[in-house]
């Protein structure tokens, strides 16, 4: 195996501690109540759910926990990277290509990330030299609800993104037992291709100040103009199920959402734009370093000590050796988890820079965004062709 065993055990324990009083079961009961069935039919369905929950759902988590504890005490679990397995490096390269939507090699991705890290670090240094107190106090966005954020973004974003006729949505909290205190802040439920359900954004009740820039950034990533808008555009404008779902290139969908969350920063006109630029630069620096560490662990075979030294040199501060180990194990157990987001963002950002260079004053952000959105879930070879077609259409005839 290659798992962070203790984190799996802790997660299962959190589910099991609530037992039949779990908000997961309560939430399913609420869904039955919303169907307006007869009291007898509703009671029957609830009883079926209760039995399934207590006789199958909870025992399954108990089984997982027991097996993980057995492996923790006496099993064979690789606590280093894929490089420690036979053919592990070759597997990692294929996994990297799958998760970056391109055929670039590990060394090519490493080089791109090193150059990008240096560029964004220089950008951040220049911003701090301009305003030395930039990070002395975190500004507040002034929002008190997710709905207000999304409604405001929706008013402004069509200056930069093509219009979509139907953007209705619903926000629902993630059940507290399965919500992590340090993991997913929010996520978008991708709707079925053949359904008509309202789009749903799930938010983590355990995380974050709702008026923080970080919360706004997450909502823009998962909501508007990120995933929720991205899929609304896709379902309304693309006819190919292959492009809408089957090809499934995570680097395009996640890279677009990171690009969208950064584009949405301009709508925060009440927050210092230099702070927002620094916030974005710092996020990119952090995740480019993490991707380089991921390559180090899984391709170069770094130990925890080598990882800790690299991260320290990159500016990460860990209070204890246990904190270093925890971060190492997160990457070790989840190879290529961050590449779709930040290598994907790099690819889109590079295409935008290329289009701006080719078109000069003829460049139009809204038309460029339409060119990348029409790609659907396709790999970057398709996105590049759509951008090339946009550039060709904008250039004046010779």
Q: What does the pLDDT read at residue 352?
A: 97
Distance CA 298, CA 300 (A): 6
Q: What does the pLDDT read at residue 266?
A: 95
Distance CA 169, CA 232 (A): 10
- 65-73 long-range CB contacts below 8 Å, 24 or more apart? 65/8, 65/9, 65/12, 65/13, 65/16, 68/3, 68/5, 68/8, 68/9, 68/12, 69/9, 71/1, 71/3, 71/5, 72/5, 72/6, 72/9
**How does 275-313 read in b/e, with b if 16+ C-beta sit within 10 Å?**
bbbbbbbbbbbbbbbbbbbbbbbbbeebebeebbebbee
Q: What are the backbone dihedrals phi and psi of residue 202, each rounded to the nearest 5 degrees, phi first?
A: -100, 130
Per-position pLDDT tens, the chain of length 398: 888 888 899 989 988 998 998 888 998 999 999 999 999 999 999 999 999 999 999 999 999 999 999 999 888 888 899 999 999 999 999 999 999 999 999 999 999 999 999 999 999 999 999 999 988 889 999 999 889 999 999 999 999 999 998 888 888 877 665 665 545 677 888 777 776 777 888 887 766 688 999 999 999 999 999 999 999 999 899 887 776 667 778 999 999 999 999 999 999 999 999 999 999 999 999 999 999 999 999 999 999 999 999 999 999 999 899 999 999 999 999 999 999 999 999 999 999 999 999 999 999 999 999 999 998 888 899 999 999 999 999 876 55
| DSSP H or E stretch at residue 172 | strand 169-173
Which two tokens mark 248?
A: 């499934």
Q: What does the pLDDT read at residue 179?
A: 61
pLDDT tens string 250-278: 999 999 999 999 999 999 999 999 999 99
Which two tokens mark 282?
A: 């710092």
Alpha carbons within 13 angstroms on the beta-carbon side of residue 196 total: 0
Strand partners, 189: 200
Strand partners, 140: 212
Sorted by sequence, the CB contacts under 8 Å of residue 308 that are 6+ apart come out as: 318, 321, 324, 328
């Amino acid at each position: 195996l290659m798992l962070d065993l203790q984190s799996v055990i802790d997660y299962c324990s959190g589910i099991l501690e609530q037992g039949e009083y779990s908000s997961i079961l309560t939430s399913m009961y609420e869904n039955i109540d919303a169907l307006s069935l007869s009291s007898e039919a509703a009671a029957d369905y609830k009883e079926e759910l209760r039995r399934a929950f207590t006789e199958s759902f909870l025992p399954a988590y108990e089984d997982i926990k027991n097996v993980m504890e057995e492996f923790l005490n006496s099993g064979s679990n690789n606590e280093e990277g894929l490089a420690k397995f036979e053919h592990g490096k070759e597997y990692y390269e294929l996994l990297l290509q799958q998760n970056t939507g391109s055929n670039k090699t590990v060394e090519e991705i490493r080089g791109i990330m090193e150059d990008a890290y240096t560029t964004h670090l220089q950008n951040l240094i220049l911003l701090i030299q301009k305003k030395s107190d930039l990070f002395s106090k975190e500004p507040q966005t002034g929002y008190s609800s997710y709905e207000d954020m999304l409604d405001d973004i929706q008013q402004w974003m069509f200056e930069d993104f093509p219009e979509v006729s139907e953007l209705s949505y619903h926000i629902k909290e993630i059940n507290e037992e399965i919500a992590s205190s340090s993991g997913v802040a929010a996520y978008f439920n991708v709707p079925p291709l053949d359904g008509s359900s309202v789009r749903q954004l799930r938010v983590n009740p355990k995380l974050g100040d709702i008026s923080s820039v970080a919360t706004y950034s997450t909502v823009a990533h998962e909501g508007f103009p990120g995933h929720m808008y991205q899929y609304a555009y896709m379902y309304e404008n693309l006819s190919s199920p292959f492009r809408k779902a089957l090809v499934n290139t995570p680097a395009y969908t996640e890279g677009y959402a990171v690009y969208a969350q950064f584009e949405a920063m301009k709508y925060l006109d009440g927050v210092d734009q230099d702070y927002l630029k620094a916030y974005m630069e710092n996020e990119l620096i952090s995740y480019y370093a993490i991707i380089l560490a991921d390559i180090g662990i899984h391709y170069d075979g770094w130990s925890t000590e080598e990882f800790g030294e690299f991260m320290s040199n990159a500016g990460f501060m860990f209070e204890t050796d246990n904190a270093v180990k925890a971060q190492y194990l997160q990457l070790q157990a989840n190879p290529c988890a961050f590449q779709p987001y930040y290598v994907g963002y790099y690819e889109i950002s590079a295409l935008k820079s290329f289009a701006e260079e080719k078109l000069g004053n003829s460049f139009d952000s809204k038309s460029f965004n339409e060119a990348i959105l029409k790609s659907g879930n396709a790999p970057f070879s398709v996105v590049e062709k759509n951008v090339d077609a946009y550039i060709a259409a904008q250039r004046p005839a010779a």
